A and B are shown apart, each in its own frame.
Chain A
């Protein structure tokens, strides 16, 4: 039995097995950003029921219920702030809000963060946690993958700026198949579940069980898909070190 308060003191990491449980965005941002330096971006941007979608409940109602329950307007917080003295542009997704699903609001907020970071030449850090695209916005959700990737092309390929993606439990579907896997450096948290197709879908496709540990960070690491697995408690320090390494390059001819 793991008491919640004790667990939160330990950054939601189980002392015994090292499992990194999911963590809400506020808890991630607070310790990572130096005091009195946080400037949120697009805090009032939220979703619109673009398809007038209704399954067992209307999309509009679901949104309001999620907002009331989570105290968040959407599944990502973006902003700028100093971290160990370096100004960075972080975006942190939150699985609690509709499973971290990506719709127009998440797509727009992340795109704007990338555009801001491009303009101000800031390193970009995106912490991913998502069940995939938001079905209630249909194909419009799918296109957010392209929209963000387009902004990343300008940021990474043309402007040669540094983007670090941090994959947490769980990172799946459209987020994995877009910005999740486009980091110049891809960091995963220990035992994070990272997938394109979910375990259930794979088992249905193949008609057989998937081996244990198949889509965990450690397995992806063995398959050469990640740069680093970093325990949560060390992430802030590691990001500083990386930032230092990249800013000390002697041969940068743009």
Chain B
């Protein structure tokens, strides 16, 4: 008895349903994919896209933060500096990696590597995948805020191209600490948020149960962030998410990175810095040009001097 026709038909229906299901994932569904335990990590992508790879370690000041991995390698024969948050591939590894939550030492290690890259002419590729910077006593005592702030400022002065790709979770300042770049890419199912949906729900809705509502409201997915002019390109994932076919996901990543890099390599360092500054300068939306109701300005210190054309005010 030959059932091959029925089997083929069922297979066809299965493929179609799978395409339908995964074709239109909601933000909440994408968040699950971004946090999937088998989602390819930074090192897995590296090993899929580089020909040569050499991990480099340490902040030269007493620590080698396992939450951030750094190293140099080649893609198609071209050398780059690679920096990324590293999640564990199982519980034991996650504990070792501190769940990809860096301390200040991790950001300082990243900065050391970025300066090293600039010095030697390596363009920088950063890979974001963190729930956020580590919130612990030691981290606070050693200047977690300062370490991130320093990176934010210094990245705008690095005279080599920088491409950042969000490959999983983009956890707020902890992500941005290695994410000031010329081009920002996001894997299709990754997310980038200013506060986790759980934290946002607890604060604004006063219940963690509102996390799905917070996820929708905050617009944290790749496509939504392209609309908001934060992200430059969405990198497609294989159907079902990167964890279903990590090698294909990595190849898509490699293609997008190399394509953007080709353009960036044409720019001289001054143009590069100008372009990077402009990318972030334009983010944000305000209302102005209309004089506000004086009730809404009653506690502002009133003007008591005037600008004389372009001159600063004169002391009377």
Contact = CB atoms under 8 A, between A and B. Distances in A.
Interface of A: 24-26, 29-30, 33-40, 42-48, 50-51, 53-56, 67-68, 70-73, 77, 79-82, 85, 87, 103-105, 107-108, 111, 120, 122, 133, 135-147, 149-154, 156-158, 173-174, 176-182, 195-197, 201-202, 205-206, 210, 214-215, 219, 223-225
Interface stretch (B112-120, B142-150, B251-259): B142-150
Contacts of B139: 196-197
A37 B206 CA distance: 45
Interface in B261-316: 276-277, 280-281, 283-293, 295-307, 312-313, 315-316
Contacts of A72: 296-297, 299-300
A179 B218 contact: no
Contacts of B172: 133, 142, 174
25 contacts: A26-B301, A35-B304, A39-B306, A55-B214, A67-B292, A67-B296, A71-B297, A79-B301, A138-B194, A138-B217, A138-B218, A144-B284, A146-B180, A147-B281, A152-B153, A157-B157, A177-B149, A177-B173, A196-B140, A196-B145, A197-B133, A197-B136, A202-B137, A215-B140, A223-B143
A55 B135 contact: no
B283 A51 contact: no
Nearest to B107: A177
B313 A150 contact: no
Nearest to B299: A71
Nearest to A208: B137
B316 A36 contact: yes
A49 to B, nearest CB: 9
Interface string B12-27: 0000000000000000
A217 B235 CA distance: 44
B284 A53 contact: no
A105 B286 contact: yes
Interface of B: 133-137, 139-146, 148-150, 152-154, 156-157, 170, 172-173, 176-177, 179-180, 192-195, 199-200, 203-206, 210, 213-214, 217-220, 225, 228, 230, 276-277, 280-281, 283-293, 295-307, 312-313, 315-316
Contact of B136 (A40, A173, A205): A205
Contact of A71 (B152, B177, B298): B298
A45 B287 contact: yes
A35 B303 CA distance: 11
B300 A51 contact: no
A180 B157 contact: no
B153 A40 contact: no
Given A80-B312, A139-B228, A139-B230, A180 B149 contact: yes
B218 A46 contact: no
Given A38-B301, A80-B312, A142-B172, A44 B149 contact: no
Contact of B144 (A120, A150, A196): A196
A55 B204 contact: yes
A54 B217 contact: yes
Contacts of A68: 295-296
Contacts of A138: 193-194, 217-220, 228
B164 to A, nearest CB: 11
Nearest to B284: A104
Chain A CB within 10 A, most for which of B149, B150, B302: B149
B219 A51 contact: yes
B290 A150 contact: no
Given A38-B304, A54-B217, A197-B140, A104 B285 contact: yes
B230 A140 contact: yes
Given A40-B300, A139-B194, A201-B135, A150 B277 contact: yes
B313 A80 contact: yes
B303 A40 contact: yes
A120 B296 CA distance: 29
Given A25-B301, A225-B143, 7 more contacts: A43-B297, A44-B288, A55-B213, A82-B315, A140-B283, A147-B281, A196-B140
Q: What 4 A-B pairs have minimum CB-CB distances, sorted nearest first?
A: A197-B135, A104-B284, A71-B299, A176-B145
Contacts of B218: 51, 53, 135, 138-139
Nearest to B179: A146
A56 B144 contact: no
B290 to A, nearest CB: 7
Contacts of A174: 172-173, 194
Contacts of A151: 281
A70 B316 CA distance: 32
Nearest to B184: A143
Contacts of A182: 149-150, 153
A225 B230 CA distance: 32
B300 A135 contact: no
Contacts of A26: 299-301
Nearest to B193: A139
A140 to B, nearest CB: 6
Nearest to A154: B277
